[in-house]
Amino acid sequence: MLTKLRDIVNNVASSSDVKQALNTLVSETCSAMDTECCSVYIADHDRQVYELMATQGLNAKSRRVALSFNEGLIGLVGRRAEPINLAFASGHVDFKHFPDIGEDVFNAFLGTPIIYRRQVLGVLVVQQRDSRQFNESEESFLVTLAAQLAVVFAHAKAQGLWPSDVKGSLLLEGAAASPGVAIAKAWCDVSQPRLDLVSPASCLDNQKERDRLEGALSAAISDFRRLRKRFDNELNQDTLAIFDLFIHLLNDPVLRKAMNEHIQQGDLAEWAVKQTIDSFAERFQNMSDPYLRDRANDVKELGQRLLYFLENQETKQWNLDEPVILFARELTAAMLAAIPRDCLAGVVAEEGAVNAHAAILARALGIPAVMGVEFNPQIIHQKKVVLDGFKGRVLVEPSAHILKEYKRLRDEELELQQEVDSAFTRRTETADGVRVEIHLNAGLSADTSIAINRGVDGVGLYRTEVPFLMQRSFPSEEDQVKQYQSILDCYPKQSVVMRTLDIGGDKPLPYLKIEEDNPFLGWRGIRFTLDHPDIFLIQVRAMLRASIGRDNLAILLPMISGLSELLEAKTLVNRAFNEVSEIAVSQGKKLNKPRLGIMVEVPSVLYQFDAIAPHIDFLSVGTNDLTQYLLAVDRNNARVADVYDTFHPSVLAVLHQILMSSQRLKLPVSVCGEFAGDPIGAALLVGMGYRQLSMNTRSVAKIKYVLRHIPSDALQKHVLAMQQLSLTGEIRKASEDFLERYSLGGLIRVGK
């Protein structure tokens, strides 16, 4: 049986023509299963129908057979996404009778879905005259066949060899990495050297290889310097920091030493680069923080650039005379920078994730992007393409009708973006004038971009751990003072909330290995720093020293689970305050007491608010961890990603409860998790009564725009309605409809 299965899959895969492949499939399946009828239906997701593409046993020559996704047994197999095995198919309520196709003679029915990455691509069916159920081994044969065919079908689709989902055009799918619609000709550039293809090779002349490597390192450094300069006025500091990171890594003695050691052992420079980059990238890859894990791609990008400069002396010049959609195997920051902005309508990459730095850069530059798309350059190059950065789709040679629809969407987006941008510098209030403060979540560096500073009310969360992770040892007190001063100086009249180190098993420091079975429940946040008062005191002292003569520092403690941790931490903060006060006095200056707050992210702390309130000045709700701990679901585990949902009714109930407690205890509260930067989340939070939200740079304009368009009583009513719902999906859907009623649906299109 196994040989038969393999033969069928091989024969289908080796067919160059889809029609012929499907005919082979049905006839070989009939003979392998010794059955009289086999048919394959293919899903057309845009028309929401299954179309009969090939059959042995049915008479489909005279007419087209298509069933809507809601119709017939085929529709049922697709909806249930599992096999259906019936002895009398026509007796089933879902059976749909097609006259003249000769199905009436068949009684037994076994249909199984062909699923690739959760999407039903089609349905494979066998039928028989006998009225009997197919046995278990027949069922497992068909299921296994369908699973293997799914891979073949998905590959054929990507190669443009598939009857498309969208009539007349080829549809490619990937991850939505940067929103927006682009319409232009495709430009495929797959000429970059590939790190993954570098194989072991040795050299005869070590000195020559060392010189080649040195030359490539210098060329890459000056290239990144040039790029940084090129973007200086266009990008905020957080995004620009990637170029600094690249330059920093290229100068890193450890990295250089590792490469040179490989050459010393007789390796060719390319092979030395590959081995070193792979081991550095692996370090990042093993981190469970998704942001840091994605930095592995940046390290690989660095390797690609070195490979490029080992082979070329010059930076590649792009001579394009019209805007294009760039298709690349791996998108790099250098590529985005090298192509003039007015010639780059959009980007599509085969490799890379939504949070790879090239994707972050594309978002910051407002270039629509789709990542993780398999494509065939020979078919795509120079073809007209629509890129849908909201849904992660690419349509090659779209029909006139589809093109018209997308042009309309693109024009709408442009109009919406202009409106959003115009609301940016105005202070945030709801449509009826209720004031809401919008703060920034900052990380890699202070955001010194003038535009952003004019648009926000301060920094609601400065994550201090990132600089700790980028270094080879704990940063010194002096280094930290400088870092914190630069941030406090960016916002002289606004509050800057600095969180103490939230490091732990999930974000291991390269210089301090922590191995735990359950890192999220382990030694992280305040638990780590209380066990290391030395590290904690240095950090708090650095924050306080940075704030001498200023009045805008607030200190935030992460992962507080109860009163005792807070009291211990506060004792240390007070000790640091007394020490730094003396320094201030000796300089003839004054140290103002910073406000002290706790993150609300461990559920137990909710039940200690009364005891905790007298000791703190504010609360900051971390919805990312709060959701994780409340729902007992790892926030970084793709397998349970669908269970991790901030719209869960219990999460909403807890958020409401926190607000009630904070009002009763007269404690200011803000929300700094991702939920606050989500249009639906922000609407719910303000509807509940939250008046301070803190979010990433790119959410600011969007959230301001949403809030300015809805009156506070409507937000309040919406929350009351949502509190009556018990299903996460219902809450999400009703909230989307709510925003749609205010014509704000465009702001939540991403990822739908």
Question: How many residues would you count in the chain?
Answer: 752
- How far apart are the C-alpha atoms of 213 and 256, rounded to whole Å? 9
| Residue 647 beta carbon to ligand PEP: minimum distance, rounded to whole angstroms | 15
Closest approach, Cβ 601 to ligand PEP, in A, equals 5
533, 496 contact by CB (below 8 A): no
498 binds, among ligand PEP, Mg ion, none (CB under 5 to 8 A by kind): none
672 is catalytic: yes
**Assigned token pair, 63:** 């007419």
Closer to Mg ion by Cβ: residue 223 or 625: 625
* Contact predicate 557/602, CB 8 Å: no
In the complex, which residue's CB is closest to Mg ion? 625
Q: In the complex, what is the shortest distance from the CB of residue 624 to Mg ion, in angstroms, rounded to a whole number?
A: 5
| Closest distance of CB 354 from ligand PEP, Å | 17
Sheet holding 66-68, edge to edge: 66-68, 49-56, 37-44, 119-128, 108-116, 84-86
Ramachandran sector of residue 689 (left: φ over 0; alpha: ψ -120 to 50; beta: rest): left
Q: Which residue has the tokens 């469970």?
A: 288
Annotated active-site residue in 203, 262, 357, 718: 357
Nearer to ligand PEP, 450 or 641 (CB): 641
Residues 286, 178: Cα–Cα separation, whole Å: 26
Minimum CB distance to ligand PEP, residue 569 (Å): 17
Owner of token pair 């993954």: 196
* Nearest to ligand PEP of 29, 697 (CB atom): 697
Q: What x/- string results for residues 461 through 490 when contact with ligand PEP is judged by CB under 6 A?
A: x-x---------------------------
User: Nearer Cβ to ligand PEP, position 152 or 676?
Assistant: 676
Query: According to CB under 6 A, which residues from 204 to 243 bind ligand PEP?
Result: none
Among ligand PEP, Mg ion, none, the one that 672 touches (CB under a kind-dependent 5 to 8 A) is: ligand PEP
Where do we find the tokens 């269970």? 643
Farthest-apart Cα atoms in the chain, separation: 99
Tell me the residue number closest to ligand PEP, measured at CB: 622
Q: Which CB atom, from 330 or from 601, has the smaller least distance to Mg ion?
A: 601
User: Quick check: 58 and 140 in contact, CB under 8 A?
Assistant: no
519 sits near ligand PEP (criterion: CB under 6 A) = no
Q: Which of the choices ligand PEP, Mg ion, none does residue 673 contact, using the CB cut-off of 5 to 8 A by kind?
A: ligand PEP
357 is annotated as an active-site residue: yes
Minimum CB separation of residue 559 from Mg ion in Å reads 7
Residue 164's nearest CA partner among 379, 410, 382 is: 379
DSSP 86-97: ES-GGGSTT---
Map residues 582-621 to x or -, x wherever contact with ligand PEP holds by CB under 6 A. Answer: -------------------x--------------------
With beta carbons less than 8 A apart as the criterion, state whether 179 and 366 touch.
Answer: no
* Cβ atoms of 403 and 386 closer than 8 Å: yes
Of residues 193 and 467, the one with the C-beta less far from ligand PEP: 467
By beta-carbon proximity to ligand PEP, the closer residue of 350 and 601 is 601
- We find the least distance from the C-beta atom of residue 655 to ligand PEP, in angstroms, to be 12
The Cα 653–Cα 655 span in angstroms is: 5
| Residue 213 partner contact from ligand PEP, Mg ion, none using kind-dependent CB cut-offs of 5 to 8 Å | none
Q: How many CA atoms lie within 13 A of 477 on its CB side?
A: 12
| CB 525, min distance to ligand PEP, A | 8
Contact between 678 and ligand PEP per CB under 6 A: no
Contact assessment for residue 514 and residue 504, using Cβ atoms and an 8 Å cutoff: yes
Which structure tokens are listed for 259?
A: 């490469």
Task: Between 413 and 601, name the residue whose CB sits nearer to ligand PEP.
Answer: 601
Which DSSP state fits 608?
G
The 556-595 site mask, x for binding Mg ion (CB under 5 A), equals: ----------------------------------------
Q: CB-based burial of residue 126 (10 Å sphere; 0-12 exposed, 13-18 middle, 19+ buried)? A: buried
CA distance 195 to 498: 39
Interaction partner, residue 458 (ligand PEP, Mg ion, none; CB < 5-8 Å by kind): none
Q: In the complex, what is the shortest distance from the CB of residue 467 to Mg ion, in angstroms, rounded to a whole number?
A: 17
- Are the CB atoms for 659 and 405 separated by under 8 Å? no
List, in sequence order, every residue forming a beta bridge with 108; answer none if it has no partner.
Answer: 128
Residues contacting Mg ion: total by CB under 5 A: 3
The amino acid at 71: E
Contact (CB, 8 A) for 348 and 377: no
Q: What does 623 interact with, of Mg ion, ligand PEP, none (CB < 5 to 8 A by kind)?
A: ligand PEP
Task: Give min distance, CB of 558 to ligand PEP, in A.
Answer: 7
CB of 639 to ligand PEP, least distance (A): 20
35 vs 627, beta carbon nearer Mg ion = 627
Catalytic residue among 37, 38, 490, 672: 672
Chain residues 620-679 in contact with Mg ion, contact rule CB under 5 A: 622, 625
Render 469-480 in DSSP notation, one character per residue: HHSSSPPPHHHH
Q: What is the DSSP string of 460-523?
A: EEEETHHHHHHSSSPPPHHHHHHHHHHHHHHSTTSEEEEEPP--BTTB-BTTB----SSGGGSS
723 binds, among ligand PEP, Mg ion, none (CB under 5 to 8 A by kind): none
Nearer to Mg ion by C-beta: 179 or 622?
622
78 vs 558, beta carbon nearer ligand PEP:
558
Size of the site for ligand PEP (CB under 6 A): 10
Residue 502 found at the interface with ligand PEP (CB under 6 A): yes
Q: Which residue type occupies 527?
A: R
Neighbours of 575 (CB within 10 A): 14
Return the ∠ at Cα 575 (arms to 570 and 578), rounded to 5°: 125
- In the list ligand PEP, Mg ion, none, the entry touching 732 (Cβ below 5 to 8 angstroms by class) is none
User: Which x/- pattern, by CB under 6 A, does the window 424-463 give for ligand PEP?
Assistant: -------------------------------------x-x
Contact present, 116 and 73 (Cβ < 8 Å): no
SS3 555: strand
- Scanning residues 588 to 627, which ones bind Mg ion (CB under 5 A)? 601, 622, 625
Minimum distance, C-beta of residue 562 to ligand PEP, in the bound complex (Å):
17
Tell me which DSSP letter residue 320 carries. -
Q: Which of 25, 26, 198, 672 binds ligand PEP (CB under 6 A)?
A: 672
Q: What's the rounded Cα separation, in Å, for the pair 328 and 304?
A: 13
Give 475 or 673: the residue with its C-beta nearer to ligand PEP. Answer: 673
Kindly give the interhelix angle for 237-250 and 290-311, rounded to the nearest 10 degrees: 60
| 692, 694, 700, 703 alpha-carbon torsion, rounded to 10° | -50
Q: Which of residues 620-659 bind ligand PEP (CB under 6 A)?
A: 622-625
Which 699-728 residues touch ligand PEP, going by CB under 6 A? none
- Residue 677 binds: one of Mg ion, ligand PEP, none (C-beta under 5 to 8 A by kind): none
Binding site for Mg ion (CB under 5 A): 601, 622, 625
- The residues assigned a catalytic role are 357, 672
Binding site for ligand PEP (CB under 6 A): 461, 463, 502, 601, 622-625, 672-673
